[in-house]
Structure 1
Amino acid sequence: MTSPRILIADDHGIVRSGLSTLLRSAGFEVVAAVADGVQAVEQACALQPDLALLDIRMPGMDGLQALREIKACSPGTVVVILTTYANLEYLSQAVMAGAAGYLTKDLEPERLPELLQTVLSGENLLDERMLQRVLDEAAREIRTEPEELADLTEQEIRVLALIARGLNNQQIAETLYVSRNTVKTHVRHIFEKLHVSDRTQAAIWAVRHGL
């Protein structure tokens, strides 16, 4: 089995070193460990890692701008924010820019490798209470009759609505009495048609459009 390739960006050397050691011991291949957002973007664009783990406050370019640029040049890279700040505005910006996870540094270290494997499997790593607040904000901006909705099949609309309720692929499969692989296909088509990169962006899109 191929080791997941990960890029780490944090302006504190001791954090980079600790994360590198922890993740290597858990089977990850650390392809780069950099100190600022500019280097993070350069290395991500060049190396196309499976995952980028970014701090927010870094010199040169912050993690949120780095996230946007990484998703532009390496759309297949899953990006997770690891920060000191449990800040709703940061979370909202990160989610809308394409982050698949937002974790705070008070996380127990031994949980991090497992959580990163989870996000690599296609699930999101977002605090449910904070995510609900983002969805509540999105609900206040409901738009009607979106053109993109007409491009979705009836089954894709059902799947999208269940994604917005927080169900994972297995739960959606059980709800709709279809296979998990069928759900995965629907989810992929939804992402393509809505031009989003992950489940959280799809959920926010669904809430904003009244699903």
Structure 2
Amino acid sequence: MKSSIVIADDHPLMLKGMTNYLTSLNYNIVGSATDGRSAYNLIVKLKPKIAILDIRMPHMTGLEIAAECKKNDIYTKIILITFDKRQDVYEKAKELNIYGYILKEFAVEEIENCIESVTNNEPYLSKELLPNLEKSYTKSDITALNKLTKTEIKIIKYIAENKTSPEIADELLISSRTVDKHRSNIVNKLKLNGKHNGLFIWATENKDIF
């Protein structure tokens, strides 16, 4: 059985379309809601593995739901669907450890890859968002790269492309376990504090320097 999922969107057609689409792909949709408060109550009650949330809904936004889940130690992985390309909104999502952040206009074509990535504990960000995010790397980021091996730099490049550990392993002809060990070494060298999505965020924000 695939991961349990709750879906919430205040646009009925979007909600129905996404629910029907994922159901057709045999995903386990355990609940749906048209407002944020109902969505949060479903998450508390059902504790799904994944919640796919519209970022702007009545009563509670997707970000507010994520904040409540974080505060109350609810480990549902949240995917936000949004029209918003603003840097400050994305930064807030990062602070709340949002696992997926995809644009609504690409939601149907991206959602399956997003869910697969999130299921493997790897964050997913719409590639279309990257040009809209400010470059925030510093001299210290560039210096940090000098600590990495050629293989580690290759792995960071693949991470920036939203590739999973098994996909990276296939590209480099090594085992997934070896990739995971490299990822751990990179996190330590870059001093990323072990956040679950810290390496992915660093890789996407600094991809122009490697």
Q: Same fold (TM over 0.5)?
A: yes
Q: Which residue of 1 aligns with 2:144?
A: none
Three-state SS of the structure 2 residue aligned to 1:106 is helix
Displacement of 1:174 after TM fit?
A: 7.8
Corresponding letter in the other structure for 1:118: S
SS of structure 1 residue aligned to 2:135: helix
2:176 to 173, 180, 184: 180
Partner of 2:65: 66
Q: CA deviation at 1:78?
A: 2.2
Q: Does 1:202 find its partner at 2:199?
A: yes
1:82 positional shift: 0.9
Q: Partners in 2 of 1:141 and 1:48 — Cα distance?
A: 42
Deviates more, 1:163-172 or 1:16-25: 163-172
Identity %: 26
Query: 1:6 and 1:67, CA in 2 relative to 1: closer, same or farther beyond 3 A?
Result: same
Superposed, 1:24-63 pairs within 5 Å as 24-63=23-62
**Does the 8 Å CA contact 2:43/2:51 hold for their aligned counterparts?**
yes
Change (3 A) 1:195 1:110: closer
Alpha-carbon distance in structure 1 between the residues aligned to 2:92 and 2:103? 15
Kindly indicate whether the alpha-carbon contact (under 8 Å) linking 2:85 and 2:132 is maintained by their aligned counterparts in 1. Answer: no
After superposition, the CA RMSD in angstroms is 3.9
Q: Please, which moves more after superposition, 37-46 or 47-56?
A: 37-46
* Conservation of the 8 A alpha-carbon contact between 2:51 and 2:78: yes
Contact 2:102 2:125 (C-alpha < 8 Å) held by counterparts: yes
**Distance (Å, rounded) in 1 between the aligned partners of 2:139 and 2:45:** 37
CA distance in 1, matches of 2:171, 2:18: 39
| Contact 1:4-1:27 within 8 A present in 2 as well | no
Q: Could you tell me how far apart the structure 1 residues matched to 2:170 and 2:109 are?
A: 32
Partner Cα separation in structure 2 for residue 93 and residue 141 of structure 1: 24
1:138-194 deviations in whole A, cap 9, x for unaligned? x35969xxxxxxxxxx99xx8599548626435765899853113335657959x82
Counterpart residue identity of residue 166, structure 1? A
Could you give the per-residue CA deviations for residues 42-68 of structure 1, whole angstroms, max 9, x where no partner exists? 222332212111111111121112122
Distance 1:89 1:36 in 2: 23
**5+ unaligned residues in a row in structure 2: which ranges?**
142-146
AA partner of residue 202 (structure 1): L
Q: TM-score, normalised by structure 1?
A: 0.69
Identify unmatched segments of 5+ residues in structure 1: 144-153
| 1:93 and 2:92 are equivalent in the alignment | yes
